[in-house]
Amino acid sequence: MRQGQLYAVVDLETTGTDYASGDRIIQFGCALVKNGKIVDTIAQNINPHQALLPAIRNLTGIRDKELASAPDFQEIGPTLHGLLDGAVFVAHNVNFDLPFINAEFAGLDLPPIGEKALDTVQLAQILLPFAPSYKLSDLTKLLSIEHDDPHQADSDAIATAHLFLLLDERLRALPAVTRQRLAAMGQGLLRQTGDYLALMAKAGDTAAHAAGYTITNGLALRREQEAAPAAPTHVAYPSGKAAMTQLLKPRFTVRARQVKMMDAVYRHAQHGQTPLLIEAATGSGKSLGYLLPLLIHQQDSQQQIIVTTSTLALQDQLAQQTLPAIAAIMHTQLRVEIVKSDTHYIDLGQYYGLLGRRDLNTGEQLLMMKILVWLTQTTTGDLQELQLTTYRSPLFTAIVSGQESPADSPWVRVDFLRRAHARQDAAQVLITNHAYFTRHYDEAPFARNALVVVDEAQHVADSAVDALMAKGNLPRMLRSLHQIKGAIDGVIRQEQWSNGELFRYQVVSVGNAVDLLTSRFNELQDFLYAQVIQGNIVRSERNQPIQRLWQPNAVAWQTLTRYLTQIDDTLLQLFTALTQLQRYITNQAEHWSQRVTAMAATISAAAEDLRPLTDDLDQLSRIQMASHPSAGFVIQMRNYGDLRSVSLHWAQVDIRPLWAAVTRRFAPFIYVGATLRVMDNWQPFCQPLGITDAIKMVLPNGFAYKRLGRVFITPDAPDIKETPPAEYAHYVAGMIEQLSRANHQRILVLFNSLSLIQQVFDEMSELSLIGQRELLAQGVTGSVEKVMKRFKLADGAILLGAATFWEGIDLPNDTLQILVVTRLPFEPPTRPLTQLRANFITAQGGNPFYQDALPRATQRLTQAFGRLFRSRQDHGVLIILDRRIMAESWGHQMLHDLPRTVPKVQLPSAEIAQATADFLAGIPVKKVKT
């Protein structure tokens, strides 16, 4: 910030968001900042002469009686104007606060203030690239800034001032080349935020902090730190609990059952001939239980260790916590790498090429600036570190890597992907996800005869099914074609063929190929819609994504093959035309206007996005007609009636041949998971993987569920089969409202249907508690990623979720204490993969309900219960609103699969909320156990 300049950091609380509609300021907060310090603070209530809406009262905690005795804006306005006039106006979302207060000033015939104004939201988005959210309350929590009363203007203004000071400090600490580039890119930022960056580009010592960075082609990159090699040590495997305790203390507490697991894993690594299956409950110490013995064994065997998981949370926990702790007790350094798709990494050459673009929109330019700062901090180049809720922007398509930089590239020495591959090749332990491992098990860096641990193994069969799936993402292909067409049409309109006939011919050739290919795709989508979806979707399912199984007859198969062949031929025509045009532009690089250069970059990025999708489509075209019950086409439609959202996939649920090929390459696998058995039966896990002979063991966690948890069941809940959806949604919304009023904790509500989520959300949106609690709903308020991020950050949030939220999330420590199950988690019978599994089991003479549907639902319910208990300190309540769990015999089986010692209590619906509050407060629930 400029020395001697006064910065007024302002926050307003108002009756609403629209001054023109009669909304007014009710609270003014301001922190004055000068020379890097807060020099004064102001807080003032303001009488709006109108009653506050309930939502505003709940949000701010301000009451009408507090404002009744306060001065109105006409009285206080001139004083505030004098305070702010001449200062740089700073706010968190400046385009709300500044126009609003200027509207108030205009009502007093006072001139507008804020000739210079800055936005801390945009500054934070640029300077804090690792932040998961840029809401003020989330940033203050992340940065440990005191913020006692969110949505109170004085507290918000002071917190924003501390944030501004911290951002100013972060900006000064950046290398000069980065500050200078930010200044050059800041013209499109809000108000004078770009001018502030330009001012700071000249501030400070240009040589400061240079030691921590590598400057390559004008980009400042965090210098990679090479750890000094540790002196070689050898740790003998401890014999007995006492020796193990001596090795592990004080970092780990050793339990007898954990030592039993370690012994079994160590024996298996030495001479195991069959798979080892370990059901290890959450909190049992399973990660240490398999990693320590394998690492001790590795000292002599030199075998690579591969750990596959289903969640990123476990990958990060292993790499950042468990393995470093084991390295410390072994007095060594471990080379550990997470293996993921090459497209996770940034291509520095592609990014650098976009820095000079002038046609980026404001959002894209902001993202480019964020990445510029991120490059000074990241050591991996993994774009996932940015924690965005979507990576589908065309900008990402342009900058993601897909292959290592060539040897003659100016970026080769700092190529993140090349570095990642080198680290992976040298790693002792590789961590990856099930799907990636299944697709790439026979490629580098996975070594033959490695020791493989399949953690979270209950998900591996479904991941293998996904790996086998041939995907024809027709909507994404169409988006790429539209990007190419849009870029070409822009040049045609503006350039008027001023670049010669050969250029015109090549551009027209690309355009014609795009038009023909678009037409071919549309014809295929029309055909699939008519064959599978038209007339087959009931009204209640039309407000959510649609999936249907299609096993075509001979005539339909012949028609499909013809369409795919035509598309394949036209794709070849398009790529030929694109190659010729790109070569022509590249060979005369100095000749072209900026518009043509931008077009070339756009079509190049779109073509790169199109190529892997084309490979998938080619795989579909080579599928031979078959009548096997375990395989078929999956037709998807994202939005009912939108024919351009139709896509085509091929699924195969019998993965035994694939899994046999995977396991043959390595030493006998170790499978670890919290729910490998279902109702004490290993078969639902073993059968899909073709496991016929294995050593099995069960490792309980020893949690005191009788003290820590409760399962509440509502026998008076509406009968799901007999109750209309709207009436059932009303019941669920009422139950959530009661829980919310009696309990301040976060609440996760699990559904089987997105349509029911929408109905319950609509019901709850009318309730007054929504001003007090943040209501999140999958598919309504955001994507899975977005609502999950908000749920973790927002105190007291209520999340309505389906699918992934049953099992594919990790909520640390006290994030979750109340979990509501609206319906038992049976998969919809119309789901294509469910139908294929049922067909396959029936063809083998089995019973799909008892061999597949019931075990899967039981496992999901058990996994949902496990969300509540991640450690011995956690406690929580599972509330089941589906009466079938008591009314049906199979419901009792599901209930009994939950931990035996957790009390299961039947209560009337009206008593659930208070019973939950009492239990979490430590008050006994005096009801008879079921």
- Known binding residues for ATP: 280-287
Alpha-carbon torsion angle 323, 326, 331, 337, nearest 10: -10
* Secondary structure (H, E, C), 413-465: HHCHHHHHHHHHHHCCEEEEEHHHHHHHCCCCCCCCCCEEEECCHHHHHHHHH
Query: Going by C-beta distance under 8 Å and a sequence separation of 6 or more, which residues neighbour residue 904?
Result: 711, 713, 895, 898, 929, 930
Whole-angstrom Cα distance, residue 6 to residue 19?
28
Query: Going by C-beta distance under 8 Å and a sequence separation of 6 or more, which residues neighbour residue 180?
Result: 201
88 φ, ψ (degrees, to nearest 5): -75, 125
701 φ, ψ (degrees, to nearest 5): -95, -15
**Any long-range contacts for 290-293 (C-beta under 8 Å, 24+ apart)?**
290/261, 290/262, 290/265, 290/453, 290/455, 290/670, 290/672, 291/318, 291/322, 291/323, 291/326, 291/429, 291/453, 292/248, 292/262, 292/326, 293/237, 293/262, 293/263, 293/265, 293/266, 293/269
The sign one gets for the Cα dihedral 700, 704, 709, 713 is: positive
Whole-angstrom Cα distance, residue 81 to residue 79?
5
For the record, the structure tokens of 87 come out as: 């200062």
Whole-angstrom Cα distance, residue 308 to residue 433?
5
For the record, the structure tokens of 138 come out as: 């989330």
The sign one gets for the Cα dihedral 265, 267, 270, 272 is: negative
6, 47, 67, 380 from 97: Cα distances, Å: 18, 18, 20, 39
Nearest to 8 by CA among 56, 41, 51, 54: 41
User: Which helix (DSSP H) or strand (DSSP E) does residue 512 occupy?
Assistant: helix 501-528
What are the DSSP calls for 869-889, one per residue?
Answer: -SSTT--EEEEE--THHHHSH
Which parts of 592-732 are beta strand (E)? 631-637, 646-652, 670-673, 695-699, 709-713
Whole-angstrom Cα distance, residue 72 to residue 27?
10
Whole-angstrom Cα distance, residue 122 to residue 233?
50
Query: Going by C-beta distance under 8 Å and a sequence separation of 6 or more, which residues neighbour residue 356?
Result: none
Q: Are 504 and 497 contacting, i.e. CB atoms less than 8 angstroms apart?
A: yes
5, 153, 161, 487 from 34: Cα distances, Å: 6, 20, 11, 48
Whole-angstrom Cα distance, residue 890 to residue 905?
18
Q: Which residues make up each annotated binding site?
A: 280-287
Nearest to 185 by CA among 360, 387, 22, 392: 360
Nearest to 688 by CA among 717, 641, 739, 654: 654
* Secondary structure (H, E, C), 560-585: HHHHHHHHHHHHHHHHHHHHHHHHHH
Reduce the DSSP state of residue 133 to 3 states and report it.
coil
Q: Are 10 and 33 contacting, i.e. CB atoms less than 8 angstroms apart?
A: no
Which parts of 681-772 are beta strand (E)? 695-699, 709-713, 747-751
Whole-angstrom Cα distance, residue 436 to residue 339?
8
Reduce the DSSP state of residue 222 to 3 states and report it.
strand
Whole-angstrom Cα distance, residue 227 to residue 111?
60
Work out whether strand 37-45 and strand 213-216 pair parallel, antiparallel, or are unpaired.
unpaired
